Amino acid sequence: MLSSLVQPESGTGRLRPRRDPSAAERIARSAATTGASLRTEDFPQWFEERGRAHRFTVDRIPFQELDGWSFDAATGNLVHRSGRFFSVEGLRVTQDEGPHREWFQPIIKQPEIGILGILVKEFDGVLHFLMQAKMEPGNRNLLQLSPTVQATRSNYTKVHKGADVKYIEYFTRPGRGRVIADVLQSEHGSWFFRKSNRNMIVEAVGDVPVDDDFCWLTLGQIGELLLRDNVVNMDSRTVLACAPFPDNGADALLSDTELVSWFTAERSRHDVRVERLPLRSIPGWARGDSTIDHELGRYFRVVAVSVEAGSREVTGWTQPLFEPLGVGVTAFLTRRIGGVPHFLVHARVEGGFLDTVELGPTVQYTPDNYAHLTGEDRPPFLDLVLDARPDRIRYEALHSEEGGRFLNAESRYLVIEADEEQAPLVPPAGFQWATAAQLTSLVRHGHYVNVQARTLLACLNATAVRS
């Protein structure tokens, strides 16, 4: 008997994937709908009420006050006594191009795969997404809109001996829902070593009781919230990017095969070597009582915090966090090519990637870290983005990065219209033009599109970006 996932092509005898076009069409309908039981204009009041309903505090502490964490005597790595959760280790990266051919840094090693999952359900003919008001210690405003489930394996297997993760059964038990999207995706390759999470969208079967910290929103409403600073968290954005959308059949500059071939060539041509090292042995970094800092005062620092969170599975804990120095700038340049919007992607090397290169935005930098560079050493297109005229900006919002591991990590996300002189049809090496439909297709595969590009793709598909 043929698997339910494949069926023969008519007259050929070959197997092809079984498709469900209705899922993409229903997602698109939800993106076009901004009315729901919780109106968007009422969302701020609901969100503020959830913030007042729980006690949230985050305090910086010296490393010696960390409970359960310590620096390993042999390596200097910052580890948890359980051997779980994550560790902070050292990393050496060498590459064959760019102004920085070698560097050393602390890196987060978290080998377990977490679940980032959004539960969806149809109301009045429109799919709604079950979103959670969730506190993360690193968020600038602590409370942000997260997926239905946002949990490491240690969380949902209760290594911390806390409360159950709500709604986890929809994502771990077959039959509790209909899978719409399920793919392993990378996290920040600059700060995580080969970290992946399972990104899932599951349609619920039967009634779903709604906890006080959760609400149903259409994708169109989430698109409206993506226009606001620091409301929709990173984990929500990466899951939303994995949602299927109809392919409108618009012509792209490159065919899908040509785009993938270009990307494969980019992966093949880079000579990147990555070596994990003991944290205590990496040059250029110094450990103090409360921070681990770079000698030039750039990039980021490692800090420790004490957390109280009344709405979390565990209501109090301590942990290390990475704190970047400066606000990042993350942007797509866009042009209409043959009448079709295209976006300039960058085949980007990051030391923590599983496979050397992933497709990132045109620009993904913290400008302060590059202020000392001039001429050809300046990152391509960075100054164009920094100097963009307001009438060229099609999208702009300040978004937090992963608040469970990073403290006050924010980036200014933009989509900027460019012309031939600024962004030529034949771009520099390492850059290429792609449509949103092509990126949506690539996101169905893990480790093709990086987490920053997925944020911008989520904004595009949720119609937050002006055409």
13-43: per-residue pLDDT in tens?
444 444 455 899 999 999 999 977 788 899 9
Q: What is the largest CA-CA distance in the chain?
A: 71
Query: Is 70 exceeded by the pLDDT of residue 421?
Result: yes
Question: How many C-beta atoms surround the C-beta of residue 10 within 10 A?
Answer: 8
pLDDT of residue 154: 62
What CA–CA distances, in Å, run from 270 to 83, 209, 259, 266, 376? 34, 50, 17, 7, 19
Pairing state between β 328-337 and 410-417: parallel
| CB proximity list for 167: less than 8 A, separation 6 or greater | 117, 119, 130, 148, 149, 208
Quick one: average pLDDT of 213-227? 96
H-state helical runs in 363-419: 382-386
pLDDT of residue 8: 41
DSSP secondary structure of 200-238 = EEEEE-S-----TTEEEE-HHHHHHHTTSTT-B-HHHHH
Query: Is 60 exceeded by the pLDDT of residue 156?
Result: no
Pairing state between β 78-80 and 196-204: unpaired
Is residue 437 a contact partner of residue 247, using CB atoms and an 8 Å limit? Answer: yes
| One-letter identity of residue 174 | P
CA angle 261–180–246, rounded 5-degree value:
60
Hey, which of 53-57, 366-370, 462-466 has the most confident mean pLDDT? 366-370
CA distance 181 to 168: 16
CA distance 384 to 329: 12
| One-letter identity of residue 367 | P
pLDDT of residue 455: 98
Query: First vs last Cα of the chain: how many Å apart?
Result: 47
Is residue 313 a contact partner of residue 74, using CB atoms and an 8 Å limit? Answer: no
pLDDT of residue 467: 75
| Token pair for 305 | 């915090």
pLDDT of residue 168: 96
Is residue 343 a contact partner of residue 166, using CB atoms and an 8 Å limit? Answer: no
DSSP state of 280: G
pLDDT of residue 18: 45
Query: Is 60 exceeded by the pLDDT of residue 355?
Result: yes
Of 326, 351, 301, the C-alpha closest to 409 is: 326
The chain-wide mean pLDDT, for the chain, equals: 92
271-325: per-residue pLDDT in tens?
999 999 999 999 999 999 999 999 999 999 999 999 998 766 678 899 999 999 9
Confidence class for position 7, pLDDT limits 50, 70, 90: very low
DSSP state of 163: P
pLDDT of residue 397: 98
| Token pair for 70 | 């310590």
| Token pair for 269 | 């041509």
CA distance 219 to 128: 7
What CA–CA distances, in Å, run from 301 to 234, 286, 295, 304? 20, 10, 10, 10
CA-based radius of gyration for the chain: 22
Quick one: average pLDDT of 89-108? 93
Of 151, 230, 408, the C-alpha closest to 305 is: 408
CA distance 464 to 123: 22
72's enclosing H/E stretch is none
DSSP state of 68: S
Question: How many C-beta atoms surround the C-beta of residue 208 within 10 A?
Answer: 17
- Tell me which of 163 and 447 has the higher pLDDT: 447
Quick one: average pLDDT of 232-243? 98
Is residue 312 a contact partner of residue 396, using CB atoms and an 8 Å limit? Answer: no
Pairing state between β 15-17 and 6-8: antiparallel
Lowest mean pLDDT among 100-114, 146-160, 252-266: 146-160
Confidence class for position 152, pLDDT limits 50, 70, 90: confident
pLDDT of residue 17: 43
| Token pair for 410 | 């924010």
Confidence class for position 249, pLDDT limits 50, 70, 90: confident
119-149: per-residue pLDDT in tens?
999 999 999 999 999 999 999 899 999 999 9
| CB proximity list for 390: less than 8 A, separation 6 or greater | none
Lowest mean pLDDT among 159-163, 238-242, 337-341: 159-163
Of 136, 150, 134, the C-alpha closest to 58 is: 136
Quick one: average pLDDT of 93-100? 87
Q: What percentage of the chain exceeds 70 in pLDDT? A: 93
Is residue 460 a contact partner of residue 237, using CB atoms and an 8 Å limit? Answer: no
Query: Is 70 exceeded by the pLDDT of residue 430?
Result: yes
Burial (Cβ within 10 Å: 0-12, 13-18, ≥19) of residue 37: exposed
For the chain, how are helix, strand and coil distributed in percent, rounded to 5? 20, 35, 45
pLDDT of residue 314: 76
pLDDT of residue 80: 95
3-state secondary structure at position 321: strand
pLDDT of residue 3: 36
pLDDT of residue 13: 42
451's enclosing H/E stretch is helix 451-461
Could you list the beta-strand ranges (E) of 338-402.
340-349, 357-360, 363-365, 393-400
